[in-house]
Amino acid sequence: MQIGIILLLLSLGWFKYIHFVHDTLREIAKLVNLHYPIPYQEVVLPLAISFYTLQAISYLADIYYGKQKAERHFGYFSVYFAFFPQLVAGPIERARKLLPQFKVEQGFHIENITYGMKRIAWGFFKKTIIADRLAPIVSSVYDSPDPTGSQIVLATILFSIQLYADFSAVSDIAIGSARMLGIKLTENFNQPHFSVSIGDFWNRWHITFSLWLRDYIFIPLCKGKKKRSDIYVAIIITFLVSGIWHGAGWNFVLWGLIHGIYRVFGDATKSSREKMASFIRLDRHPMIQRWWKIMITFWLVCFSRVFFRSDSGEQGLEHAQLFLSLSSWNPVELLHAFDMFSIVELVIFVFFYVVAHIFYYLERKNRSIWEWLSHRSVYVRLAVYIFIVASVVIFGVSGQEFIYGEF
């Protein structure tokens, strides 16, 4: 197992991080007045290398620990690693879930076809109407040499919306495409922007990756450890791995470190925060307390995404200073920042963003919006489906690649 994992990591490291290592060594050499002789070399990143590397590592580890038997059939083995719906951007599946499904003859079931088409249509709705409409607006701020603090604040909030719409969309399309083939993939998102803590956020965001980090990084690091300080170190390391996996840049390292600090701080202060909530009697108003937690968590997530969206660690620190400046949160200045929208674009975005949240509300109340719709009259169902498709055709924009396709 160790040799296989080392080879996988070396391959991933060469293609994804060789430039990052060279650039870092080159900068260090400049600081100490040394010549760095290795020239820049163009390296083409293989399609989906990050995702199938994680699946391969989980496969080897599960076999080693007796959780999965080695697959002797080359065809099933190959399909597991190259299953096209989730190859580029996940969900990151385990062999023990996918392989048994591949070994069962899948017939034609109209329920699978209709469900898959609904999920695909909903994915294109979020991608083309929300994510791709926000992308150029966010880029206009983050690519600007001199953005205002209020523009950074608004652009970062919009980027959080864009990132969720974009990434959950590609998961919807993957899940829908697989279901049409009779294969059930793992849900990858559960309305993460309604999380009440950072821990809750990571239970809802990129769920399959969070579980992968827990099972193959965090738990092995914690094996035999009982001291809380040792567990905190394991948390920090786990989130640093998450940051490094997301991209070869110090901005991603800082992003991962920030989330690690969030988790450690949240755990260390949990008791104190509960006592404070009881002292000010906030716990007597559970609805207010819940929404307060949601707003704080969303703010913390947005702050970390300043680094995620920035092009470098240095730029991330500059943008973070603007984000944290009190003047950047001046309501008047924030209103002025909306000038980045045209009136038409703003109306379209607000309308469809509200529509999406109506869907999310119904989903929170009924677990599955599609199951809820299946119990409505045929006229209601048709109206909803026609609205989704017509909205994509009329108001959808294209030309933006999926963000997580870069990772």
Active site residues: 246
Q: How far apart are CA 205 and CA 200, in angstroms?
A: 9
34, 126, 139, 41: which is closest to 360 by C-alpha?
126
Residue appearing with tokens 């083309």: 128
Residue appearing with tokens 């677990």: 367
Contacts of 62 (CB under 8 A, 6+ apart): 68, 94, 95, 96
DSSP track, 187-232: P--S-GGG-SSHHHHHHHSSHHHHHHHIIIIIHHHHTT---HHHHH
Name the helix (H) or strand (E) containing 255: helix 250-268
Residue appearing with tokens 């080897």: 60
Q: How far apart are CA 271 and CA 181, in angstroms?
A: 48
CA dihedral 70, 72, 75, 79 (to 10 degrees): 0
DSSP label of 285: -
Where b means 16+ CB within 10 Å and e means fewer, 87-96 reads: ebbbbbbbbe
Q: How far apart are CA 9 and CA 16, in angstroms?
A: 10
